[in-house]
Structure 1
């Protein structure tokens, strides 16, 4: 049976417009889905779903499209308009501040910050938090989350001070091998001079930011912004007085954290425990 291309709806969203432009360019050069799929390194089904906006555009695709069609960077430029579409509105506004920050201070109570997650950990965390989501939706969310990590790989990345509650190390997300891989990744990136990684131990007891996560962002003009995040919600705070209060809370928690060296030692110990657990399960 002959494959029937589905009708496109470019006005539905920026992602639908992106897909329609892929098909338009493909038709202009009289190229079949199969031929384009071979050039891009994706299956025909994947390319068809890119065109119909059923699948998110992965970050490696735009430059390949520009090469395939000779479009001189159009698809790369358009990708900037759609890459964050998968995120809720409140997250996209935060990400705008995040992308322009020169300094980030984070405290997380239960999970590794998204900017520091491995693919395996991100997959397990998103699957646990979206029990009814399809595998396709989870894959899209993983790709979107990992794409945000580009901010740490740019020429002049922000300074990042990350304080992890000990629970972040102790609560398994995914398999023991997934956790061991994630914690080894923390130690590797922790060697960067622009990243300070510390752990606040259980022994410290209660503190002002328990039960949630806090990010403090500093822009190059000195503007400070706070972002409070729960499992499914987020709140961006721009009031100078409120941000000052959260800065104090963050400073107190960080002052009670282990040194970088002691934090690394605790992470090493956790890795050994997960590795031993994984061996017992084999």
Structure 2
């Protein structure tokens, strides 16, 4: 057996190192993926995807595997190195985009900006510009974001629900005409049978999703994953327990939101304020 490589923060292939160790340890113990799932309580497909590098799982999964294999701290350390690798964000986001395109339903909560699926070109351009993107890359990313809206087109479009913090609607674009166009687009999208828009007003006070922009994606096999993000990074959460805890927080916040009908009235008031502004 070849000597085990030293684990250091300078590893140039942390994701590959993690997947290799997962496969090696399972082979040595003689577990099948099904047996591993039965013992640890996660779907066996999660462990298969972790070994193939499709996902890293979560820290609780790595800790459970360490306990199962008798390798205290080893897999958790490798997991942390893989997660810290800056090249992994794009990989996680690509996987999220694939899951989004295949989802049979989507549920979303927005902390401060509109979800990409509901953004107009003007809104997307202003948001990406504020993030420091310019030139050809800006044009490319705006086109990619607008292209995603096709997911909600057609008779077979998946149901999409979004809760918008009032902050989202109180943060206008500098260009009043573009902001008006964006609000009108929200009203138009809200008329679709498969799109549900709700507003979570400031008057509800503190709630369970105060700082967590979240998208839940349910796949054809009934499994749900979650994407959570900030303005700087995002994480795909696939461990069942973690997703369920996040869904509970989502449900608690949704109970506080305005109904779709009242949310529409709220957006219409925002639109009226823009139209009545004497500076526009």
Partner of 1:143, secondary structure, is helix
Distance between the aligned counterparts of 1:120 and 1:98, measured in 2?
23
Quote the residue 2:260 is aligned against.
Answer: 260
Distance between the aligned counterparts of 2:249 and 2:191, measured in 1?
26
- For residues 224-277 of structure 1, the C-alpha deviation after alignment (integer angstroms, 9 at most, x for no partner) is 101101112110000110000011111111110001111011100001112223
Q: Deviation at 1:174? A: 3.5
Quote the residue 2:127 is aligned against.
Answer: 125
- For residues 52-97 of structure 1, the C-alpha deviation after alignment (integer angstroms, 9 at most, x for no partner) is xxxxxxxxxxxxxxxxxxxxxxxxxxxxxxxxxxx93221110111
Quote the residue 1:115 is aligned against.
Answer: 117
Distance between the aligned counterparts of 1:164 and 1:134, measured in 2?
27
- For residues 13-41 of structure 1, the C-alpha deviation after alignment (integer angstroms, 9 at most, x for no partner) is xxxxxxxxxxxxxxxxxxxxxxxxxxxxx
Distance between the aligned counterparts of 2:154 and 2:93, measured in 1?
21
Distance between the aligned counterparts of 1:211 and 1:241, measured in 2?
20
- For residues 143-200 of structure 1, the C-alpha deviation after alignment (integer angstroms, 9 at most, x for no partner) is 0111111111144111001100001100113312211111110111101110111000
Count of matched residue positions in the alignment of Structure 1 and Structure 2 = 192
Quote the residue 2:3 is aligned against.
Answer: none
The answer to whether the aligner puts 1:196 opposite 2:227 as a matched pair is no
Contact 1:197 1:260 in 2 (8 A): yes
Contact 1:115 1:148 in 2 (8 A): yes
Contact 1:164 1:200 in 2 (8 A): yes
Distance between the aligned counterparts of 1:269 and 1:135, measured in 2?
35
Alignment of 1:142-161 (within 5 A): 142-161=142-161
Alignment of 1:47-86 (within 5 A): none
Partner of 1:151, secondary structure, is helix
Q: Deviation at 1:210? A: 1.2
Quote the residue 1:247 is aligned against.
Answer: 247
- RMSD over aligned CA atoms reads 1.4
Quote the residue 2:227 is aligned against.
Answer: 227
Distance between the aligned counterparts of 2:215 and 2:226, measured in 1?
6
Structure 1's unaligned 5+ residue stretches are 1-86
Runs ≥4 residues deviating over 4 A: none
- For residues 203-228 of structure 1, the C-alpha deviation after alignment (integer angstroms, 9 at most, x for no partner) is 00111111230111101110110110
Distance between the aligned counterparts of 1:173 and 1:91, measured in 2?
26
Distance between the aligned counterparts of 1:145 and 1:105, measured in 2?
18
